[in-house]
Amino acid sequence: MGRLFYLIGQGFENVLKNKLMFIASVFIITTTLIMLGIFTIVGENANALVEQMKSEQRMQVWLDGDLASDKTKEVGEKLKKVQGVDEVVFRSKKETIDNMRELYFDESTIALTDGWEDTNIYATDSYIVTPHDLTMGKKLQEDIEKIDGVNRVAFQEETFTKISKIADIIKVVVLIILIFLIGLSFLVISNTIKLGLHARRKEINIMKYIGATDNFVKTPFVIEAIIVGLIGALVSWLVTIALYDIFKSVVMSNQILFEPLTLDRQILTMNVIIGTIISCFACLSSINKYLKV
Amino acid sequence: MIEFVDVHKTYEGGVEAVNGVNFYIDKGEFVFLTGPSGSGKSTLLKLMIREEKADSGQIILNNYKVVTMKDKHIPYLRRSIGIVFQDFRLLPDKTVYENVAFAMRVVRSSARQIRRQVPILLSLVGLSARAHNYPNELSGGEQQRVAMARALANNPLVLIADEPTGNLDPENAWEIMRILNEINMRGTTVVVATHAEDIVNKMQKRVIEIDKGRIIRDQKHGSY
Ligand SMILES: Nc1ncnc2c1ncn2[C@@H]1O[C@H](COP(=O)(O)OP(=O)(O)OP(=O)(O)O)[C@@H](O)[C@H]1O
Ligand SMILES: [Mg+2]
């Protein structure tokens, strides 16, 4: 136990002996982890957007007001036969209105919807049509509108596709930067350890004559690497969360729908794990290379 | 205790530093290794601690098969050997006390053991008063005595010294020899490679003389 404390103390001593390189190591690992955080957040949001987009891509086929029920069924059969239609589900006027009430009104405003069922202004019976392929929405819309008994087809334009494309581009760019930064982290940290080994080469040499095991010699350096990884993880986590908050407030003020995500804890865990792994790998590769044990 | 059987060692440059060496050193012996510069004395000591690996032959030391043992066992071989060098090899940023304590810590001694043992070792080499000085505040002879205290820290069965008096004036050299002799009296096997003619002559210990990597003399109570 005392031995472990001793080795941890040695790890901190390494840090103090080599402050500048230590700071450089923490800086680069922090930058890397921030990029990783951005990558994760953009990825998660893009996934959320795609999910949202899929539901938006469903078409709501509004029928003429007060269409007879056999006529309504006939339209349903016709819809199923249209090329490119995957699924057709009937949604009654009442269901649609109830749904709207739930989404857009609360107890204080619900009275406004009184009597909506009695007119065809707010809703009519409808079919929810899922297209087979998201890209053929426009043509499908035209085909469906030709069917007798169909009033209008509601269909979101392709803004979400565009957003998801932008997210993809950001993801690729960040990924490239991330790979570059991981490489750079590796380089800087292994050089830090190499300098530490050099500064302690006399001591290490003596330790080995005395009969120190490889692990005893290596442990202080691994502890130094863990310290680098942990501090990097903590700092990058704080920065990522701050950046995300700023980003959220900007996006919210532009009134764009944005999935609220609770990624805080995941990002901290991820940073600790990835940061420590990168740092320890760089350390061990450096030790095994420069320490002829 | 220490046995060499037909040991050969050729360095990468092609120098045949050890060329068929056989000897047996019993527990508790005191042995001088002598011979001209470049004859292979240091190489013999390096082979004992597996700093260099013999090309062929057998070396048995404290029951370790030194030539064939796995690398991961080398630390345990070395813990059974105390080593002293001509250039002391102390850590300049650690005090005398810490230099000795350091050796004990490396081999997992407890803090209590360290507190008990280090003062005993320092008094053995006559440096109790200098425990909290740094190496650069000590004379060469005192520094070498610290190195000896460190070599003894883990109660080695064998103490090997490569020209321990090479950097010292005669007076300090004799002090080192007196301590080595005392250590030997307590039962530790001592092997000293040296050029110190008068010391070898006066002490009348076993002398193994090397030339060009071969033993040319092995004498029970020899001179240089
Ligand atoms: N690492 C090495 N690589 C190549 N040759 C070496 C190496 N170490 C020693 N030698 C050579 O091996 C021979 C024996 O060297 P060694 O150091 O054992 O001699 P020595 O008897 O200790 O000499 P000295 O009395 O000067 O210390 C010498 O010719 C030396 O040049
Ligand atoms: Mg020599």
Residue positions counted in chain A: 293
| pLDDT, mean over chain A | 82
State which H helix or E strand residue B10 sits in.
Answer: strand B2-10
Q: Whose CA is nearest to atom 25 of ligand 1?
A: B37
Residue B208 near residue B32, CB atoms below 8 Å: yes
Type of residue found at B113: Q
Q: Ligand 1 pocket, B43 CB below 6 A?
A: yes
Across the range B123-138, mean pLDDT stands at 95
Q: In chain A, pLDDT over 70 holds for what percent of residues?
A: 85
Cβ within 8 Å, pair A203-B91: yes
- Nearest by CB to A2, from B72, B111, B153: name it: B111
Give the count of Cβ contacts less than 8 A between chain A and B: 44
Tens of pLDDT, residues A29-83:
999 999 888 888 877 776 666 666 666 677 888 888 888 888 888 888 988 888 8
Ligand 1 pocket test, candidate residues B7, B18, B41, B216, most atoms within 8 A of CB:
B41
Closest CA of chain A from B187, distance in Å: 20
| Ramachandran assignment for B12, one of left (phi > 0), alpha (psi -120 to 50 degrees), beta (any other) | alpha
The answer, yes or no, to whether any atom of ligand 1 lies below 6 A from the CB of B144, is no
Q: Give the number of whichever ligand sits closest to the CA of residue B36.
A: 1
Q: Say how many Å lie between the CA of residue A42 and the centre of ligand 2.
A: 65
Please report which confidence band the pLDDT of residue A7 belongs to, taking 50, 70 and 90 as the band edges.
confident
CB of B15 shorter than 6 A to ligand 1: yes
Alpha carbon distances (Å) from A137 to A29, A43, A164, B178: 46, 26, 17, 100
- Closest Cα to residue A209, out of B90, B139, B173, B44? B90
Q: What is the mean pLDDT of residues B57-66?
A: 96
Helix/strand/coil for A155: coil
Over residues A71-123, the pLDDT tens digits come to 888 888 988 888 888 888 898 888 888 888 888 888 888 888 888 888 888 88
Query: For A163-192, how does the pLDDT look when each residue is reduced to its tens digit (9 = 90+)?
Result: 667 777 877 888 888 898 889 888 888 888
User: Which residue in A has a C-alpha nearest to residue B151's C-alpha?
Assistant: A210
Taking each helix axis from N to C terminus, what angle separates A201-210 and B96-106, rounded to the nearest 10 degrees?
Answer: 60
pLDDT (0 to 100) of residue A293: 46
For residue B195, which ligand has an atom nearest its CA?
Answer: 1
ipTM: 0.88
For ligand 1, say whether the CB of B194 is within 6 Å of any of its atoms: no
